[in-house]
Structure 1
Amino acid sequence: MTGPRVVALGGGHGLSASLQALRHTTEAITAVVTVADDGGSSGRLRQEFDILPPGDLRMALAALCEDTTWGHQWTAVLQHRFGGDGEMAGHALGNLLITALWDLLPDDQVRGLDLVGRLLNTRGRVLPMCLRPLDIEATMVLPDELRVTVRGQSQVAVHPGRVETIRLLPQDAPACPEAVESITLADYVVLGPGSWFTSVMPHLLVPELLQSLRDTPAERILTLNVSLTDDEATGYTVAEHVEAVAKHAPGLTFDHVIADPKVVGSGAEEAALRVAVDRVGADLVVTPVGKMRKPGVHDTLRLAAVYRDIMTGGR
């Protein structure tokens, strides 16, 4: 199986879900990963070595490991996290492996990631959205309507209040050239699911990436979350998720928006979502894509079936 050329943008568990789903449809996958994480193991390594945060890149590589005993073993190794309370506590081994390769190849982060991919025999390629670490800054509205500025992915994700706008620092950071090229050559581009303001939308704030997304001849697919209860989406309806994308990325249109019926709702909620989807030029695909016994988690087989139907025209 080779299949269409697909670029998936995001980070964390949301990107892992889309990558695992896409593997059932094609092997020509490129993951373009956010590089604004500043918490946990990634944040510590980023601060100590002045490198891109490796955690979301590691998770994408693990999601693309081949479906063999070798692949499963290396996925476990990559994701293994050290316990205890010493200096190694909390670090994922895959983060340390990526950091070591970047230490050996200080001017070629992409080659370092490609070497990890070769070791794991991944079915696809993993790229950072930018070749320098970025910071997320958000304007948030508190319950008393006071507006505050919050800086840092880890802080934005948990800070009380409603996210009004987000931006990247620096605002003119150059995109990874290989990421721009992959979007230009893609047949399909998938944005989401994931933490909406800290994993999904940062890609739209890198000027070169946004322009390539506007210009690509690929079909663009927006995959909405199956839950509205994560901390950073507090107060947002599913329609407002789509409207936030349109607000932060003017001129960007989509061909398809995928939504689970549990978040679509009915009546006024569904009508508002259809209006928002129409404004970005897309057709709304409402179908179950969440796990039945794990609320808030995508079922990768259900999601794979939706991607396959879109890419084959329902055949």
Structure 2
Amino acid sequence: MSNGSLKHNLRKLAKSRHFLSWSNRSPRRVRQWFKWLAPGLLVKRWLLISAAGMFLTSLGLAVWTGMTPIFYLLQLLKDILGFITTVVPNFISGPLAIIIGLLLIFWGQTRTLNSITQVLMPEGDEQLVDRLLAHRRLHRGPKIVTVGGGTGLSTLLRGLKQYSANITAIVTVADDGGSSGRLRREIGVLPPGDIRNCIAALADEEQLLTELFQYRFKAGDGLNGHSFGNLFLTVMSDITGDLERAIAASSKVLAIRGQVLPATLSDVHLWAKLADGRRIYGESSITEAKGKIVKIGCIPADPPALPKVIQAIVESDLIIIGPGSLYTSVIPNLLVPEIATAIANANVPRIYVCNAMTQPGETDNYTVADHILAIDNACGCRLFDAVLVQGKVPLAQSLIKYAQEGSYPVVLDRDVVKQLGRRIVLTNVIEVDETTGYIRHNSERLAQVLLRWYSRT
């Protein structure tokens, strides 16, 4: 074949789609191979142990048979190598054998790992080594305990799960409105609504699971208005025996990062004393009463904490309180005396994420210091050292929308907060929900700020 025709064929090969695809994939494949050499995967040591085991097994067989097979095998190998080196010089045959051996090792390992990947991740494009690296990183993350409820807590968890799998979400069980309230009254189960939101937020397939758990039936006798997630947890509670075991079983099925725990398994009902002397019973009724809350409590007065909750607090590296409705999501958890005492005694960084906007009928005209004092007074002790406050004022369009509902930005009274002995973490972590127009904490930015503060503390 002439040089001209050879060059022509090579150009055609280079332009072919298959060749280009292979050449584009090769560097990425090589990078994936080298990822297996990254420290902490616990793969290399087991491969070396397997090789050592094969060597010892062969040595044992040789000793057992009096070395005769090894002697003849080595003699045969010597004769074969001697013949090869007479045909091909050793400075060529040696490197050639090494290259072929390395290629066979890479080929065998690649095929093996691809077979495992197809079984473990048949529908995903993510490489197995990437999944292992992420798994190791997340399980080495700090042990974080979050306390709260409602959409605020699930928003926080959505960001934290990107940095650690050692998360414990302590959730209130005082809800008595909506689907949760109906199930509580009709079946007698603890309200699963806030727990449902937290499980969905910590799941790997969060978007799909959130849509599934938030789906509300629009027809059907008895089903109308219920969310699928609430019914799912209710059924699991009946099957497993109680809500704690139902959450644990659901968490395994849904492969969530961390754990979700109810603050107590007692049937807790909130009550609030208002400034005008009224005493309101029921979580949903407190906000609807439209009065200034001067005291809040629960029935029974001192509900016992779940033992796993106290254990998580004792073993934690970071404790985050909030965000969420002050009197109906955050404080109800802290009305469990054992939880408040454990947090107060924890010798780890503790921070409160203050709400960006006031809540009508609950925190009207509240400043940052008012939020802090409300928690201190409800618990009778100081639970946190720092408070995270939104520094940037929301856009005028959002403020008008909130003002029409009687809600305004929470004012930072810096001097009073400092007098209360709290450090201020001033940052910008809010965004406007394009669908509803309401202000929400940005999950990713909030988690980044909290973990940056934790690392510095």
- The 3-state SS of whatever aligns with 1:291 is strand
| CA distance in structure 1 between the aligned counterparts of 2:330 and 2:414, rounded to whole angstroms | 18
Letter in 1 for 2:429: V
Residue 423 (structure 2) aligns with: 283
Distance 2:336 2:238 in 1: 26
2:441 is paired with a residue whose SS is coil
Is the 2:432–2:439 contact (alpha carbons within 8 Å) kept by the matching residues of 1?
no
Question: Residue deviations 1:130-149, cap 9 Å, x none?
Answer: 012211100112xxxx2210
Q: Does 1:14 align with 2:152?
A: yes
Spell out the pairing of 1:1-315 with structure 2 (5 A cutoff).
1-2=138-139, 3-66=141-204, 68=205, 71-84=206-219, 86-106=221-241, 108-141=242-275, 146-262=276-392, 270=412, 272-279=413-420, 281-292=421-432, 294-313=437-456
Partner secondary structure for residue 222 of structure 1: strand
Does the CA contact (< 8 Å) of 1:129 and 1:175 recur in 2? yes
Displacement after TM superposition at 1:275 (Å): 2.2
Q: CA deviation at 1:90?
A: 1.0
1:129 shift after superposition? 0.1
Alignment partners' CA distance in 2, 1:63 and 1:261: 26
Verify the 8 A CA contact 2:291 2:361 in the aligned structure 1. Answer: no
CA contact (8 A) 1:213 1:252 kept: no
Rounded Cα–Cα distance in structure 1 between residues aligned with 2:170 and 2:424: 24
Number of aligned positions between the proteins:
300
Output the amino acid matched with 1:33.
V
Amino acid of the structure 2 residue aligned with 1:310: W
CA distance in 2 between counterparts of 1:118 and 1:150 reads 39
**8 Å CA contact 1:136, 1:151 repeated in 2:** yes
Separation of aligned partners in 2, 1:262 and 1:164: 30
CA shift for structure 1 position 282: 2.7
Alpha-carbon separation, structure 2, partners of 1:277 and 1:257? 10
The change in CA–CA distance for 1:263 and 1:155 in structure 2 (over 3 A counts) is farther
The verdict on how the C-alpha distance between 1:277 and 1:34 changes in structure 2, with shifts beyond 3 A counting, is farther
Matched position secondary structure for 1:231: coil
User: CA RMSD, aligned part only?
Assistant: 1.9
- Of 248-257 and 39-48, deviating more is 248-257
- Extract structure 1 runs of 4+ deviating beyond 6 A: none
Amino acid at match of 1:94: G
Task: Please name the residue that 2:43 is paired with.
Answer: none
Q: Secondary structure at the match of 1:234?
A: coil
Alpha-carbon distance in structure 2 between the residues aligned to 1:40 and 1:164: 26
- Structure with higher helix content: 2
Distance in 1 separating the partners of 2:440 and 2:280: 27
Letter of the structure 1 residue corresponding to residue 368 of structure 2: V
TM-score if structure 1 supplies the norm length? 0.90
Larger-Rg structure? 2
Which ranges in structure 2 are unaligned for 5 or more consecutive residues? Answer: 1-137, 395-410
Q: CA deviation at 1:263?
A: 6.9
Using the TM superposition, give the Cα deviation of residue 262 of structure 1 relative to its aligned residue in structure 2, in angstroms.
4.5
- Cα contact 1:242–1:277 (8 A) shared by 2: no
Conserved in 1, the CA contact under 8 Å of 2:392 and 2:427? Answer: no
Q: Once structures 1 and 2 are overlaid, which stretch shifts more, 36-45 or 84-93?
A: 84-93
- 1:171-214, Cα deviation, whole Å (9 max, x unpaired): 11101111111111110111011010010111221111111111
Is the contact between residue 25 and residue 307 of structure 1 (CA under 8 Å) also seen in structure 2?
Answer: no
Match of 2:97 in 1: none
Q: 8 Å contact 1:7–1:186 — kept in the other structure?
A: yes
1:24 positional shift: 2.7
CA drift of 1:297 comes to: 1.3
For the 8 Å contact 2:349–2:454, the answer to whether it is kept is no
Contact 1:226 1:262 in 2 (8 A): no
Counterpart of 1:74 in structure 2: which amino acid? L
C-alpha contact (below 8 Å) 1:238/1:263 kept by paired residues: no
How far did residue 296 of structure 1 move? 3.1
Q: Deviations over 1:20-69 (max 9, x none)?
A: 12123211101000000011110111112211101111011011111x4x
Deviation per CA, 1:262-307: give whole Å up to 9, x if none: 479xxxx54x34423542x331001111115654311112211211
SS at match of 2:439: coil
Alignment partners' CA distance in 2, 1:116 and 1:9: 20
Structure 1 residue 85 displacement after superposition: 6.6
Q: Secondary structure at the match of 2:279?
A: strand
The CA distance in 1 between the partners of 2:417 and 2:161, in whole Å, is 29
Superposition deviation, residue 84 in structure 1: 2.9
Q: In structure 2, what is the Cα distance between the partners aligned to 1:201 and 1:274?
A: 24
Which amino acid letter does the alignment assign opposite residue 297 of structure 1?
Answer: R
Which structure has more strand as a fraction of its residues?
1
Offset of residue 239 of structure 1:
1.8
